[in-house]
């Protein structure tokens, strides 16, 4: 008996010890400005001595392409430093803030005193030695154009180093809606769509007020369909013909959709390719500062700053500049803007933090020629808090309308992006609502172009939903009678309406199903700086020109850093086409020395 009792006692003591040593987990949530209420949910596990044992982000509803890196890095740092006061991830400050807030919320929910854990720990970063590297081709920027160029250069036999200043690949391209305008000339589908490569060419030039260079535009549209096939050969998945649609400001249903959300499919594909080859070296957190030239003025490499502040010299036979645009650089956009009057910091932007025009500065130092720098594109589709494209409930042009704060339509929602944005600036508070019905969201759980469902957006307070238009108007804070009358009038032009086939009072011609099928949805939007269409002068081989009209040898550029393709106004769906088409060409030219 005694023996049994002592065994039981020993077991009980062991159990208590185990219990005393048990970790405790707490969950918390945070509202991020991008993702809205409950955008981030975390679980924090503390060891029995109160130290941080694990942090996991269980849910992050922020923009795909932004949220992955902070969700991985911040928890790891918190555990490593045993502090919840760690640095934000560059380019993802809002998501970072949401993770910090959710962690704090978790601990406070559990009644944990966070004073000690809030202590900021010094992270000592030892400066790595300066180094000199060699490659056939060095590419500056790991966005859409840069990675297309890197892969194309490798396919043409070159060894490649890509430098990217941010901690991740993707640039603006990964945040884009993902659509690619492309026509397979004379195919059955093109004929059915009344479309052709020439019509795409004409609309691109006309949509940019004939300021685009016809040769560059022809290169864009002629190679567009093949560009999609090239990404398919690399392994990228695309939706079929049934998903082809008209992007806002795209003017025609010729936009193909990747299978993965937003621009993420490109980078999933490109990085898998890069991982498999040993001929492309991708260096993140590495900022190009200067393009090197030899005695003859030909480009021969770059100087960059590495992650620890060390200097990295890369000698190369040719250099591809793919640094993107400057929509996040307020002083540059104010200095160049020729369209809007003011683009000060009050005007938000869709762009990622790294879109600061570094390429412009590096190329200016070489007396490169710049074209149409004043052509800056705004969209009427920004999130009212952040300017981001995410949260946009629309799918395609023909199924939605824009109404102002009085509940009235005010322009052609199928028109050019600059016209739509000008119209929006003229409305009260430059704010409008996109209104649509459940033809697009039969259950509310269908995804928009950014991987969000209408129901999630409603839950997050970023959209409203109601069974009747009167209830919707109340949630929007607009006059109900105006909204009902506006939609009644609009529906007359839609499929089955008494005025079907006619243009309406605003000149709109793209109409789909009427808005008459509840529940109804509305989401608010504001003007936002989107794309800088001016840039360095290139030719159809992506060779860069100087101010005297001469080629700068061994120097190539592609993507948003270049100018002269889109004129005054870029068609929706042409930007990603541009990155793949010209990225591929720049890579080939750089590898083969064209
Ligand atoms: P594009 O559509 O033309 O490819 P993106 O915005 O997608 O443009 O990509 C441009 C990339 O270039 C971004 O990832 C950006 O961070 C990167 N970048 C910009 N300036 C530099 C620089 N000085 N050094 C390295 N990378 C840079």
Q: Which of 66, 140, 141, 535 for mutating ligand 1's site (highest number of atoms within 8 Å of CB)? A: 141
Asked if residue 355 has its Cβ within 6 Å of ligand 1, the reply is: yes
Asked if residue 589 has its Cβ within 6 Å of ligand 1, the reply is: no
How far away, in angstroms, is 136 Cα from ligand 1 center?
A: 20
Q: Which of 324, 358, 574 for mutating ligand 1's site (highest number of atoms within 8 Å of CB)? A: 324
Asked if residue 166 has its Cβ within 6 Å of ligand 1, the reply is: yes
Instruction: Quickly count: other Cβ atoms within 10 Å of residue 77's Cβ.
Output: 17
Which residue is closest in CA terms to ligand 1's atom 3? 559
Asked if residue 535 has its Cβ within 6 Å of ligand 1, the reply is: no
Topology of domain 379-528, CATH: Flavocytochrome C3; Chain A, domain 1 (3.90.700)
How far away, in angstroms, is 495 Cα from ligand 1 center?
A: 43
pTM here is: 0.88
**Which atom of ligand 1 lies at the shortest distance from residue 362's CA?**
23
**Which atom of ligand 1 lies at the shortest distance from residue 163's CA?**
25
Say if residue 437's pLDDT is above 60. Answer: yes
pLDDT tens for residues 532-576? 999 999 999 999 999 999 999 999 999 999 999 999 999 999 999
**Which atom of ligand 1 lies at the shortest distance from residue 288's CA?**
24
How far away, in angstroms, is 255 Cα from ligand 1 center?
A: 24
Say if residue 514's pLDDT is above 90. Answer: yes
DSSP string, 510-536: ---S-S-SSSEEEEEEEEEEEEE--EE
Asked if residue 172 has its Cβ within 6 Å of ligand 1, the reply is: yes
- Alpha carbons 537 and 559: distance in angstroms, whole number: 12
pLDDT (0 to 100) of residue 10: 57
pLDDT (0 to 100) of residue 3: 62
Domain ranges of the chain: 24-118, 131-327+356-375+533-592, 379-528
Tell me which residue has tokens 């969000």. 452
Q: Which of 1-15, 223-237, 251-265 has the highest mean pLDDT?
A: 223-237
Mean pLDDT of the chain: 92
- Alpha carbons 531 and 29: distance in angstroms, whole number: 34
State the Rg of the chain over Cα: 27
- Judged by average pLDDT, the poorest of 151-160, 301-310, 442-451, 471-480 is 442-451
pLDDT (0 to 100) of residue 315: 98
How many residues does this entry show for the chain? 594
The residue among 231 and 12 whose pLDDT is bigger is 231
pLDDT (0 to 100) of residue 314: 98
Say if residue 8's pLDDT is above 90. Answer: no
How far away, in angstroms, is 354 Cα from ligand 1 center?
A: 7
Say if residue 506's pLDDT is above 50. Answer: yes
How far away, in angstroms, is 122 Cα from ligand 1 center?
A: 30
User: Are 523 and 434 in contact, with CB atoms under 8 Å apart?
Assistant: yes
Residue 37 banded pLDDT, cuts 50, 70, 90: very low
pLDDT (0 to 100) of residue 39: 73
∠ CA 306-309-310, rounded to 5°: 65
Q: Tell me what percent of the chain is helix, strand and coil, each rounded to the nearest 5.
A: 35, 20, 45
Catalytic-residue membership of 462: no
* Phi-psi map region of 444: left, alpha, beta (phi>0 left; psi -120 to 50 alpha): left
CATH (one of 3.50.50.60, 3.40.50.2300, 3.40.50.620, 1.10.10.10) for 131-327+356-375+533-592: 3.50.50.60
pLDDT tens for residues 69-97? 889 889 989 998 999 998 888 777 778 88
Residue 7 banded pLDDT, cuts 50, 70, 90: low
Q: What is the CATH number of domain 24-118?
A: 3.90.1010.20
- Alpha carbons 191 and 194: distance in angstroms, whole number: 5
Per-residue pLDDT averaged across 288-301, rounded?
Answer: 98
Say what percent of the chain tops pLDDT 90.
77
pLDDT tens for residues 258-287? 999 889 999 999 999 999 999 999 999 999
Say if residue 154's pLDDT is above 50. Answer: yes
Catalytic residue among 417, 525, 543, 584: 417
How far away, in angstroms, is 390 Cα from ligand 1 center?
A: 20
Tokens representing residue 523 in the block: 């989401």
Which residue is closest in CA terms to ligand 1's atom 17? 141
pLDDT (0 to 100) of residue 17: 47
Say if residue 35's pLDDT is above 70. Answer: no
Instruction: Quickly count: other Cβ atoms within 10 Å of residue 112's Cβ.
Output: 17
**Which atom of ligand 1 lies at the shortest distance from residue 559's CA?**
3
User: Are 468 and 481 in contact, with CB atoms under 8 Å apart?
Assistant: no
Per-residue pLDDT averaged across 331-355, rounded?
Answer: 94
- Which phi and psi angles does 591 have, rounded to 5°? -75, -35
């Amino acid at each position: 008996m005694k023996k049994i009792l002592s065994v039981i006692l020993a077991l009980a003591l062991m159990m208590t010890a185990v219990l005393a040593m048990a970790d405790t987990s707490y969950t918390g949530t945070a509202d991020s400005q991008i993702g809205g209420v409950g955008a981030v949910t975390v679980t924090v596990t503390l060891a029995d001595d109160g130290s941080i044992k694990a942090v996991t982000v269980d849910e992050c509803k922020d923009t795909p392409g932004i949220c992955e890196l902070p969700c991985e890095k911040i928890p790891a740092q918190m555990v490593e430093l045993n502090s919840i006061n760690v640095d934000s991830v560059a380019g993802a400050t809002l998501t970072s803030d949401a993770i910090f807030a959710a962690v704090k919320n978790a601990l406070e929910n559990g009644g944990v005193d966070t004073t000690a854990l809030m202590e900021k720990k010094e992270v000592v970063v030892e400066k790595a030695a300066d180094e000199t590297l060699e490659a056939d081709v060095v590419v500056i920027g790991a966005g859409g154009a840069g990675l297309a160029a890197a892969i194309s250069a490798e396919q043409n036999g070159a060894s490649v180093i890509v430098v990217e200043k941010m901690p991740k690949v993707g640039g603006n391209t990964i945040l884009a809606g993902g659509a690619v305008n492309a026509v397979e000339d004379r195919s059955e589908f093109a004929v059915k769509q009344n479309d052709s490569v020439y019509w795409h060419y004409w609309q691109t030039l006309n949509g940019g007020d004939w300021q685009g260079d016809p040769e560059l535009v022809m290169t864009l549209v002629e190679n567009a369909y093949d560009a999609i096939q090239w990404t398919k050969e690399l392994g990228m998945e695309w939706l079929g013909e049934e998903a082809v649609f008209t992007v806002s400001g795209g003017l025609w249903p010729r936009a193909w959709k990747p299978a993965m959300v937003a621009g993420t499919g490109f980078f999933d594909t490109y990085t898998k390719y890069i991982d498999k080859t040993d001929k492309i070296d991708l260096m993140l957190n590495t900022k190009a500062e200067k393009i090197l030239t030899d005695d003859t003025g030909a480009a021969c490499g770059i100087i960059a700053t590495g992650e620890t502040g060390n200097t990295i010299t890369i000698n190369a036979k040719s250099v591809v500049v793919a640094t993107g645009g400057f929509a996040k650089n307020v002083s540059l956009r104010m200095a160049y803007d020729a369209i809007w009057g003011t683009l000060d910091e009050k005007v938000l932007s869709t762009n990622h933090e790294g879109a600061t025009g570094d390429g412009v500065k590096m190329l200016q130092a070489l007396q490169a020629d710049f074209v149409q720098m004043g052509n800056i594109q705004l969209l009427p589709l920004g999130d009212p808090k952040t300017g981001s494209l995410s949260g946009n409930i629309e799918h395609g042009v023909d199924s939605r309308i824009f109404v102002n704060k009085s509940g009235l339509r005010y322009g052609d929602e199928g028109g050019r992006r600059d016209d739509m944005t000008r119209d929006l600036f003229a409305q009260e508070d430059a704010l409008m609502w996109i209104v649509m019905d459940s033809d697009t969201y039969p259950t509310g759980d269908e995804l928009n172009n950014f991987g969000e469902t209408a129901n999630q957006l409603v839950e997050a307070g970023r959209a409203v939903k109601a069974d009747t238009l009167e209830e919707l108007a109340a949630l929007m804070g607009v006059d109900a009678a105006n909204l009902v009358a506006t939609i009644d009038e609009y529906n007359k032009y839609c499929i089955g309406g008494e005025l079907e086939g006619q243009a309406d009072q605003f000149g709109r011609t793209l109409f789909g199903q009427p808005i008459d099928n509840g529940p109804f949805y509305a989401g608010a939007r504001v003007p936002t700086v989107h794309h800088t269409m001016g840039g360095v002068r290139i030719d159809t081989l992506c060779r860069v020109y100087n101010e005297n009209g001469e080629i700068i040898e061994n120097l190539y550029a592609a993507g948003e850093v270049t100018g002269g393709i889109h004129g005054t106004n870029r068609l929706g769906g042409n930007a990603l086409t541009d990155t793949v088409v010209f990225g591929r060409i720049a890579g080939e030219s750089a590898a083969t020395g064209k």
